[in-house]
Structure 1
Amino acid sequence: MTRRFLFVLGSSRDDGNTETLARRAAEQLPEDVEQQWIDLAAHPLPDFVDLRHDSDRVRPTEGNVALLLDATLAATDIVIVSPLYWYSVSAHTKRYLDYWAGWLRTPGLDFKPTMAGRTLWGVTVLAEHEPAVADPLIGTLNNSAAYMGMRFGGVLLGNGSKPGDVLNDAEALTRAKAFFQGETPLARFPHES
């Protein structure tokens, strides 16, 4: 399968620092690697409704939900591009990941087996100078990848607050140049063998 990257933009700010850093990393991908960028603020998902115990209700897959589902299934690599909000992913991003729980239970979709073996990446920019504050965000993505049987490519961290600040983070820009060249081994969910 030809590599196809889906960049899921989770910021509530246009052209923010996190997107800027993600685009710097994406510039390094070979030209034959397809890229799709979806801004969750421009393509909002409705609030997620957990229907797992409501077997007589059909989960809607239309509009932006269908757009995100189709793009997710088509991607070999999913890049969560979310600024660090309250030590984790943004609300837009969390809602997108909540939909994964619904897609896991959608009859005939085979979401988990389809996603197994693909790679989940993250890009985030934080205003703090202590990278450990991003550990909850990293844990969310790592554990999500592990549960799905996906590879975890890691999280590219940058520093900045005001628009454009990340361009002053020389270390992050250097890391961006090689970020998509490596990935960690297949992640394992702690309860799976």
Structure 2
Amino acid sequence: MTATLASVPVRSRSFAFILGSPRSGGNTETLARYAAEGLPPDSTSGWLNLCDLPLPAQPAGPVPSGAEKVLLDATLESTDIVVASPLHWYSVSAATKLYLDYWARWIALPDVSFRERMRGKNLWAVTAYARGDDRDTEPLTGMLRRTADYLAMEWRGALLARAHRPGDLEADPAILSRAAGFFDPRD
């Protein structure tokens, strides 16, 4: 008996939103939450704030524990990882960079199979920036795109918005429209 497309189960998607802003409820988080309203209906999402889950500059031991274990598990269990970081000096925030630095540690852990388990996952970015234009985000998006390439992930793109003060996003219908369609379920 051959399987038809209709009989093949479709795996629902699980989104891990990694919030890297030092300010809770800032423009980047707000933009990510607007975008999350457009997630596919059968998907799930989890929100992890790196300020609530601080990672030490150096890992505490040979086996992940505490905040590191929470972040590792969320990263591995998700089909889609959304890095939501404001633009800081043309790149991600320090907390976000440290989280990504831990990926190198996780690759080296023998019992984790991090590289293999990341293959095929989707990597997205959401960022708000106060000044300049989208070209100023190229180092941030370039780093994340290359990270996706390195791990054989799918780079799904970046949702970018210029927003300096609270309320700037809500005052721009074009930004809200882009956010609403960012996680288009037809993709």
Q: TM-score, normalised to structure 2's length?
A: 0.89
Query: Is residue 86 from structure 1 mapped to residue 96 from structure 2 by the alignment?
Result: no
Counterpart for residue 146 of structure 1: 149
The residue number in structure 2 matching 1:187 is none
Quick one: distance in 2 between partners of 1:174 and 1:48? Answer: 41
Q: How many matched pairs?
A: 177
The equivalent position to 1:99 in structure 2, one of 77, 102, 113, is: 102
Distance 2:133 2:40 in 1: 32
Instruction: Tell whether the 8 Å contact from 1:87 to 1:137 is kept in structure 2 after alignment.
Output: yes
For structure 1, the residue ranges without an aligned partner over 5 or more in a row are 50-56, 185-193
| AA of the residue aligned to 2:74 | A
Alpha carbons of structure 1 residues 183 and 8: separation in structure 2 relative to 1, 3 Å: farther
The two structures, once aligned, show a CA RMSD in angstroms of 1.8
Q: Distance in 1 between matches of 2:112 and 2:70?
A: 15
Deviation at 1:164, TM superposition (A): 2.6
Deviation, structure 1 residue 161? 1.3
Which residue matches 2:123? 120
Report the identity percentage: 47
Offset, 1:183: 9.6
| Counterpart code for 1:161 | H
Of the candidates 15, 27, 35, which is equivalent to residue 25 of structure 2? 15
Given that residues 153 and 182 in structure 1 are in contact (C-alpha distance below 8 angstroms), is that contact kept between their aligned partners in structure 2? Answer: no
Q: Which runs of 4+ in 1 moved over 4 A?
A: none
Q: Which of the numbers 49, 53, 78 marks the counterpart of 1:43?
A: 53
CA pair 158-182 structure 1, distance change in 2 beyond 3 A? farther
1:33 and 1:146, CA in 2 relative to 1: closer, same or farther beyond 3 A?
A: same
Output one character per residue of 1:88-121: Cα deviation in whole Å (capped at 9) or x when no partner.
0000100000000000000121101100001000
Q: Which runs of 5+ in 2 are unaligned?
A: 1-10
CA contact under 8 A between 1:83 and 1:125: conserved in structure 2? yes
Cα offset for 1:17? 0.2
In structure 2, what is the equivalent of residue 191 of structure 1? none
The separation in 2 between residues aligned to 1:163 and 1:60, in whole angstroms, is 40
Instruction: Report the CA distance shift for 1:66/1:183 in structure 2 as closer, same or farther (over 3 A).
Output: farther
Instruction: Return the offset for 1:168.
Output: 2.1
2:29 is aligned with 1:62: no
1: CA distance between counterparts of 2:167 and 2:87? 16
SS of the residue aligned with 2:182?
helix
Q: What is the TM-score when the length of structure 1 is the normalising length?
A: 0.87
